[in-house]
Structure 1
Amino acid sequence: MIGLTVTRSKILARVSVLQNILKRYRKRNREPKVTNSQRALEYFDIAYAPVYGTRWPSVRLALLSKPKYVAVLNNFASYDETIKRFQTLGAWDIGKKYSAIRERIRMRQEQKQTVSNDREGGTDEATATGKFVRPSLVELDDDELAARARLEPKGRYPEEYRQRAAAQSPDMEEVDVTSRVIEPSEAGSSLLVDYVPATRLKGLENWMEEADVFTNASQDDQEIGVTVVKQEEPVDFPEMLKIFAFEKGNISDFPQPRSDPQLRVLDHYAMDGASLLPVLALDVNPGDRVLDMCAAPGGKSLLVLQTLLPGLLVSNDVSESRVKRIRNILKQYVPRGMSTIENMTVVTQKNGCIFREAEEYDKVLVDVPCLTDRHSLMEDDNSLFKTSRTKERLKLPELQSQLLVSALQAVRPGGTVVYSTCTLSPLQNDGVIHLALSRIWQETTIECSIV
């Protein structure tokens, strides 16, 4: 009887210990885990806030908001009914809006020229009265008076007036490129940004601040042999592009694409509105040989194709799975048997860092792999901020600069390279461009200018 009692007491003691262990384990489990998207947001708050200053809160809000899509109509399908559907939904034609904006810019330039001629001729109000034009906030609503205000030195009227005039003419503001570079003294030593040359990637102990990684990233344009050319006229909006978007503030979704029953292709392609900009910047002309160097999933290649302008379009990517995605997009939107389109469309699988086709293309689009800020904030599973993908993330600037160097070597003299990312990182934008151009200047005889 005594032996049974001892045994029972031991069992109860062990059960009590196990219960305490389980309680502690459950308590630890209740502590929230840091997700990859939270890790990305913390990183952006530390890295971007010093760069964008007072603009960062609104930029941050935009990154966390629902993306705004546009719908690209398929020129190889019957789209009249699709246009009616979009108009019924309240969407408007971006091409028509763009034409109206260009016309306003043209009129504004004419007004500036007229005012300039009047000043030179001594017939303007300032010359006649000896007083400078200082319009009120009400008067600034008048385009002509605003144009005259913009011609005055900045010190001639208060800051609020100048900002109001600048709002009517964004090109008035001078962009301070140096302010976009994070200096260690400004960001503080706590900014351990994940950028390290790949040659040092033996462990994670060698983390460095962003501004310390590539010394060439902070050099002036003149130091790396680059000239800057200002393009006075806006780029053309290709006539054959039919793109619809909802008005500002409206983030409604477009309906799912429908299949054309005769041609068996989809009637439109939905893409992030910002993805339109690199293709417009390419400024494709009739017969151009175009290379989309990092083309997957294929949206920008499809957009180039929809202009009906290129004589050759080469869509390239490095991996087999990504190349399959490009082929699937083309298959969904280009009817079979259209020999003209099929002959001008080529899909290749090559490493863009060692692209060997020198001076083969008129236009090259280099839409590089990057931090993909919005995607990193929205996607936990396939995120660059996974701890297992840290080294991949560290290599990005080096990879980007190699791709840009290859693109500059692939374009013919007089051709155009458009470098684009979907990140706000100064290093992966301005920094990579400076690094690549520095290499071009030091290692080749190619002469480049930034437009």
Structure 2
Amino acid sequence: MFSVQNIFKNARINTYSVLQVRLKSKTHWSKLKKKSGPKYKALHHFDEFYGSVFGSKWEPMREALLRKSKYVAVINNYGDSEETMEYLSHRGAHCLKNLMSVQKTFHDQYTPQEPTNADNSHNNNLDNYLAKLQSEEIAKVYPQGENVPDKLELSDNRILRTDKKEEEKEEVSKSAYTLNKALEEAQIDHSRIIQPSMGLSSEALYQYVPATKIKGLDDWVPESMHYSLYANRDTDFPLIIEPETEFEYPEHLKVMTYEKNSEYEKFPEPKRCKTGVFNYYPMDGASVLGVLALGLRGGERALDLCAAPGGKALAALQTLLPDVLLCNDASVSRSNRITRIFRDYLLDYENGNKWQERVLISRVDGRFLTDDFGFDKVLVDVPCTTDRHSVTEDENNIFRPDRVKERLNIPEVQTQLLVNALRLSRVGGAVVYCTCALSPAQNDGVVHAALQRAFREHALVAAVRDLTKPFSALSSTLCLGTGAARPKYGQLVVPDIAANFGPAYISRLVRLK
């Protein structure tokens, strides 16, 4: 019999043993447990993916991503704009237009050339990562045995091929292949016979359930499907890439920013002006590039297909150029944020020129939005993995377990949005595609797939306008991807400690027919 004294003695010994195990690690056990959250899963995913694609460039990007992002100040023309610019300039900020003008003069005299094999190296790195990812997925589904298939068939009739070489195979007629014949040729898998000594617990039986019968497998989607659009690089459509020569900075768009490695990088909180609106709007400097890439002109009809929370739409209105701007977002709560921002920053004039007459707000899924008149300029800032948010915040994180299918389906949704944007643009109109992700699958992969799908399904032809030269004037303000980090169809703003903007991808497309 155990006495009460012995029981307490054993309890103290067990408690001491647990404490010893906990104290072996330098990190407290409670903090170790938290590292299984969505943001740590996202960081682990990016370490594998971006580490394979960008190589040595990923480490500085990673360090910058985990730090606080940098902002610019979009001056409100409906407030005390001149006073605000003077106030911020005394704090060390500079006008972005002036910085670009000075840098453009330098680049006109000397333009460094990048290696011509950057795209091939970029593609090869991603191909190697995809091959590794696909082999790991097959190992999970078929952990044993020699009869490993060369492709995985998915629930929505898509096929993930694990062998790049397409080999012709003889197909057996299902009608001729009877059940009796199948039973005669079947081989018994003795390794799956349950021995009595193993017991009948659910844990022991679980590994003997056929994989095709596991609940939820019909909805299973392999991770590599996220990159399937990028892997398909067929050029059976007119692929036109031309340098952009018509870029012009909008005269009335006033943006204040700090240079790289500036001592002052934080703007004060916006204040109300005498007119009642806020004096400036803080936003990521990379987001302004999407508005610059639009190339807005006076009297045009513009569309922001995924407008919430409204920062880019507000910057577009600050150019004072669009005659009509339609801001669309499928989410009611997010579209309400657009209205609140416009009320805080836009002003109605006494002569009857009201911003509500120029700005329209709709709440429709951007993939199915229709319009009878067409638009001169379309901005498509699509939902994406939002890399910086994913590695710093657990709330509303796309890497949450309950959002796996949503995350894997992101490139397909992005492609549908871009195709519809091309359809809504007029001939000669421009479409700017933006993401806040570093992923080539969500960037170049989506642009390629959308151009292909728009041609096949709608006989629509669009040209990619290369923004390398006009965006080179931003080199003193932010960091653009070069070498392995340089996309083929757009520009990539990469996070950097000296200029911690982005990440952001910007691609400009012009509809030809």
TM bracket, shorter-chain basis: 0.7 to 0.9
| Equivalence for 2:328 | 316
| Equivalence for 1:423 | 437
- Superposed displacement of residue 189, structure 1: 2.0
1:84 to 64, 86, 90: 86
| Equivalence for 2:73 | 71
2:128 to 177, 182, 185: 185
Counterpart Cα distance in 2 of 1:344 and 1:73: 20
| Equivalence for 1:224 | 237
Of Structure 1 and Structure 2, which has the larger fraction of its residues in helix?
1
Deviation string 1:183-235 (CA, Å, 9 cap, x unpaired) is: 44356524769xx9894795575414368623x64415x433221112245x2
Query: Would the aligned equivalents of 1:362 and 1:416 in 2 still touch at CA under 8 Å?
Result: yes
Name the aligned partner's letter for residue 260 of structure 1: C
Unaligned runs of 5+ in 1: 1-5, 109-167
- Superposed displacement of residue 391, structure 1: 1.7
Matched, 1:370 2:418: no
Higher relative contact order (CA 8 A, sep 6+): 2
Query: Would the aligned equivalents of 1:376 and 1:383 in 2 still touch at CA under 8 Å?
Result: yes
Query: Would the aligned equivalents of 1:72 and 1:243 in 2 still touch at CA under 8 Å?
Result: yes
Within 5 Å, give how 1:220-369 maps onto structure 2: 222-232=235-245, 235-250=247-262, 252-261=265-274, 263-336=275-348, 339-357=353-371, 360-369=374-383
Residues 343 and 170 of structure 1: is their aligned pair in 2 closer, same or farther, counting only changes over 3 Å? farther
Name the aligned partner's letter for residue 213 of structure 1: S
Name the aligned partner's letter for residue 58 of structure 1: P
- Superposed displacement of residue 241, structure 1: 0.8
Query: Would the aligned equivalents of 2:347 and 2:354 in 1 still touch at CA under 8 Å?
Result: no
- Superposed displacement of residue 21, structure 1: 7.8
- Superposed displacement of residue 288, structure 1: 1.0
Residues 299 and 11 of structure 1: is their aligned pair in 2 closer, same or farther, counting only changes over 3 Å? same
| Equivalence for 1:48 | 50
> Number of residues paired by the alignment?
378
Deviation string 1:136-188 (CA, Å, 9 cap, x unpaired) is: xxxxxxxxxxxxxxxxxxxxxxxxxxxxxxxx414555473343335443565
Matched, 1:101 2:138: no
Query: Would the aligned equivalents of 1:295 and 1:326 in 2 still touch at CA under 8 Å?
Result: yes
| Equivalence for 2:228 | 213
Counterpart Cα distance in 2 of 1:90 and 1:223: 52
Counterpart Cα distance in 2 of 1:198 and 1:271: 41
2:118 to 176, 182, 186: 176
User: SS where residue 259 of structure 1 aligns?
Assistant: coil
- Superposed displacement of residue 410, structure 1: 0.6
Counterpart Cα distance in 2 of 1:449 and 1:246: 34
TM-score (norm 2): 0.67
- Superposed displacement of residue 378, structure 1: 1.6
Query: Would the aligned equivalents of 1:315 and 1:347 in 2 still touch at CA under 8 Å?
Result: yes
Counterpart Cα distance in 2 of 1:345 and 1:171: 43
Name the aligned partner's letter for residue 274 of structure 1: A
Within 5 Å, give how 1:122-201 maps onto structure 2: 168-170=110-112, 173-174=115-116, 176-181=118-123, 182-185=125-128, 189-190=132-133, 199=156
User: SS where residue 347 of structure 1 aligns?
Assistant: strand
Matched, 1:37 2:46: no
- Superposed displacement of residue 87, structure 1: 1.2
Counterpart Cα distance in 2 of 1:429 and 1:21: 55
User: SS where residue 224 of structure 1 aligns?
Assistant: coil
| Equivalence for 1:397 | 411
User: SS where residue 353 of structure 1 aligns?
Assistant: coil
Counterpart Cα distance in 2 of 1:246 and 1:175: 34
Deviation string 1:385-440 (CA, Å, 9 cap, x unpaired) is: 12222122111111111111110111011100000101010100011111111111
TM-score (norm 1): 0.76
Query: Would the aligned equivalents of 1:50 and 1:187 in 2 still touch at CA under 8 Å?
Result: no
- Superposed displacement of residue 63, structure 1: 1.8
Unaligned runs of 5+ in 2: 23-28, 138-152, 159-215, 466-513
Name the aligned partner's letter for residue 291 of structure 2: V
> Share of identical aligned residues, percent?
36
Query: Would the aligned equivalents of 2:53 and 2:129 in 1 still touch at CA under 8 Å?
Result: no
